Amino acid sequence: MLTVVRKSLASLGLQLQLNLLARYKSTQDVKNALIILAPGAEEMEFTISADVLRRGKINVTVAGLNDCEPVKCSRSVVIVPDTSLEQALSHGNYDVVVLPGGLAGNKALMNSPAVGELLRCQDSNGGMIAAICAAPTALAKHGIGKGKSITSHPDMKPQLKDHYCYIDDADVVQDGNIITSRGPGTSFDFALKITEQLSGVKVAEEVAKAMLWTYKS
């Protein structure tokens, strides 16, 4: 009887260890995204990106460019960041840094030394950088990915075509660690491409299906 009890306890102990190991591995596998929210950012590009990535099992931190106060976006929608950019950077590294567009928001990203330093560090470490609409011009301003294939809102092409291989006929373009997209109407495919890269094609397709969206990886 005592032998049976000991075997049962040993089996239970092993199962607990396996459960803890699985839980630890699951935690380690979680990917982290940082979305920088600047005053004047394009609401759809921000909101759709944050929502889709979270649906895709990605931990999303929304960082206010200047502080953690509410941010007024391009169409006067007010969004409250999770934290400030300064605080977010003290929490560790991110698998992807996402830049929403919007003319005023993008200008703020272009003029921010902190954003430039972050992007250069992310790029040098091979980390993913994703920019949509006007935001690819912030990549150009900070010297990121010169010579790579990108796209953007068509109005931004004149500022980009001399520095990159500009793609006119694709809604989302990925070249290595850089993902770019064209505007509000391409935000779902933009966010799903990021999800695909971090969580896998299957997860991206499942997220798209649940949203009644057709995604072509």
Catalytic residues, by residue number, are 133
Helix (H) or strand (E) holding 140: helix 136-141
Contact in structure between 166 and 160 (CB atoms under 8 Å): yes
Interhelix angle 43-55/187-199, rounded to 10 degrees, is: 30
Q: Which two tokens stand for residue 116?
A: 């430039």
Structure tokens at 216: 């072509």
Query: Pick from 183, 86, 185: which is nearest to 136 by CA?
Result: 183
Tokens of 184: 């509000």
Contact present, 112 and 39 (Cβ < 8 Å): no
Contact by Cβ (8 Å): 105, 137:
no
Alpha-carbon gap, residue 80 to 137, rounded angstroms: 25
Q: Which of 92, 48, 35, 47 is nearest to 73 (CA)?
A: 47
Give the DSSP H or E segment for 175.
strand 172-175
